[in-house]
Structure 1
Amino acid sequence: MNRPDLVRGDRRNFLGAAGALLLAGCAGTTLDPRAGAIAELGGTGKLRAAINFGNPILANRGPGGEPRGVSVDLAREAARRLGLAIELVPFNSAGSVVEAVKAKQVDLAFVAIDPVRAADTEYTAPYVVIEGAYLVREASPLRRNEEVDRAGTRVAVGRGSAYDLFLTRELKAATLVRAPTSPAVVDLFLSQQLEVAAGVKQQLEADARRVGGVRLLPGRFMAIEQAMGVPKDRLAARAWLGGFIEEMKASGFVAEALRRHGIEGAAVAPRAS
């Protein structure tokens, strides 16, 4: 004879065991960030990494035109650890990279952290910190960064760059004039007889040597934190890349890449708190 209480007990035990197995399965998925990162980053069968040639700190072209730089090294190493083929997707400006991330045309990007971009991008902690600087003509009366924000001062910036976004928020009296890319800023500054050019310090230093008759204002107007970014809501990818980038900083990988590519003036970002 079947006893109802025993049947109910067996059913409870069965359901409890099934629930435990289900939770274990979910926990296994949740606790394996690499598997989640592969699913979110490798949907096309490869890792599509945006490489921005508009920022010489991050990337440039080698003698044969091949991409090289710290961002290229990090992209290749991330793909290797995930077991994914790598596709390096070139861009000439940060603004174009951000649009590609937003449209999910790339899986991974190397971009400056900015609150405006956060609407479409998930960031890791920064891996390098670089400086934004101002450039003026030798005869310019401007001597300090604080003197730039005045009525009548026109500042050339790269459209959609981190310093474009920053200066759009910060400058109250000066006017921004946008070049299509960051490398075109100084040429625009010269051709339109503008008062100031703004950009990555190393790019401006190189341009100053190229054109002559110009100088950088002392110091910096902003610190630019460069991070790895993925399209919005790819949280497993962000989690795995967050651990990856901390390891790359701590192991000396980032510092060695900067040294190997001859990059000066960029500092490895501190460990994330």
Structure 2
Amino acid sequence: MKPEPSVIRAFTPSGKVRASINLGNPILAAKGTSGAPTGVSVDLARAFAESLGVELELVVFDSAGKSVQAVSEERADFGFFAVDPRRGETIAFTEPYVLIEGYYLVREASPIRRNEDVDRPAVRVAVGEGSAYDLFLTRELKRAQIVRARTSPAVVQTFLEQGLEVAAGVKQQLEADARQAPGLRLLDERFMVIRQAMGVPKSRGAAAASALHAFVEEAKASGFVAEALARHSIAGASVAPAA
């Protein structure tokens, strides 16, 4: 059912709906062969614009932090983010549509074998600046030092170039990077589950947030999210349960 005109206006102050797309998380979005963004979040953005009956504009960034900032500053009308309390100060989140695992990567010879081994004074952990796991580990790690790479795809490069002890990130990104650099291994268990949701600036009002929430629940229930994951050959991410 098409949202009320007031809700459509809340999402389209510029005359079209602007979706903030983060290319720093390859599970959700990446550059296609033509150079245009493609992926699960792009499919959802198009479907949401269609549900509003308005034109879509993709506002593309190379990191989660920049993507979040664009929505917080209302330079975009909605976006795709990991749920986090800090981000929730300015963004109204839906329930998650996809669950993604965060893992640690170390060198093969590292004495670090368990997640508990990471939070030690001599350990430096590379993270993508402003990413969900940056925010989470900033709160959770009490003794280890966090070293921030400019973007999530640059985490392993930073880890290697600076001789750091640990790289943290999305499991699939770390696995892909590790295949390009022999002598690395993932720890055996995840350190967090990243709850990927859609979000709208809180300033747009409760009705807009409710409409976005309803869209996400319908996208999960109808199989749209599962089909998008399959269409883009995404492994290691699962459809989040219904709210």
TM-score range, shorter chain: over 0.9
- What code does the residue aligned with 2:237 have? A
2:187 counterpart letter in structure 1? L
- Report the Cα distance in structure 1 between the residues aligned to 2:37 and 2:8, rounded to whole angstroms: 24
Q: Deviations over 1:148-169 (max 9, x none)?
A: 0011100000001000000000
- Equivalent position amino acid for 1:213 in 2: G
2:221: which partner in 1? 250
Question: What's the counterpart of residue 158 of structure 2?
Answer: 188
The amino acid across from 2:209 in the alignment is R
The answer on whether the counterparts of 1:34 and 1:240 sit within 8 Å (CA) in structure 2 is no
Residue matched to 2:241 = 270
Rounded to whole Å, the distance in 2 between the matches of 1:34 and 1:190 is 52
| Residue 102 (structure 1) shift | 1.5
Q: Which residue of 2 aligns with 1:12?
A: none
State the percentage of identical aligned residues: 64
* Structure 1 match to 2:87: 117
- 2:3/2:52 contact within 8 Å kept: no
1-structure distance, mates of 2:44, 2:71: 17
Unpaired runs of 5+ residues, structure 1, are 1-31
Q: Is 1:239 paired with 2:210?
A: yes
Offset of residue 35 of structure 1: 2.3
With the length of structure 1 as denominator, give the TM-score of the two structures. 0.87
CA contact (8 A) 2:91 2:201 kept: yes
Map of 1:86 onto structure 2: 56
- 8 Å contact 1:57–1:69 — kept in the other structure? yes
In the TM superposition, 1:1-273 aligns within 5 A as 33-234=3-204, 235-272=206-243
What is the CA deviation profile of residues 180-204 of structure 1, one whole-angstrom value per residue up to 9, with x for unaligned ones?
1000000000000000000011100
Partner Cα separation in structure 1 for residue 49 and residue 3 of structure 2: 14
Amino acid across the alignment from 2:170? V
Bigger-Rg structure (1/2): 1
Give RMSD over aligned pairs: 1.0
Amino acid at match of 2:224: F
Instruction: Map Cα deviations across residues 130-180 of structure 1 (whole Å, 9 max, x no partner).
Output: 011000011111111111001110000000100000000000110000001
Query: Does structure 2 conserve the Cα–Cα contact (< 8 Å) formed by 1:33 and 1:239?
Result: no
Shift in Å at residue 33 of structure 1? 4.5
Alpha-carbon deviation of 1:43?
1.1
Secondary structure of 2:189's partner? coil
Given that 1:34 and 1:82 are in contact with CA atoms closer than 8 Å, whether structure 2 keeps it comes out as no
Cα deviation, residue 237, structure 1? 1.6
* Structure with greater helix share of residues: 1
Q: Which stretches of structure 1, 4 residues or longer, exceed 6 Å deviation after superposition?
A: none
Q: Distance in 2 between matches of 1:142 and 1:261?
A: 34
Residue type matched to 1:256 in 2? Answer: E
Number of residue pairs matched by the alignment: 241
SS at match of 2:122: coil
Q: How big is the shift at 1:238? A: 1.1
Q: Which amino acid aligns with 2:227?
A: E
**Which digits, 9 at most, give the CA deviation of each residue in 1:74-115, with x for residues without a partner?**
000000110110001110000001111111100010000000
Letter in 1 for 2:79: A
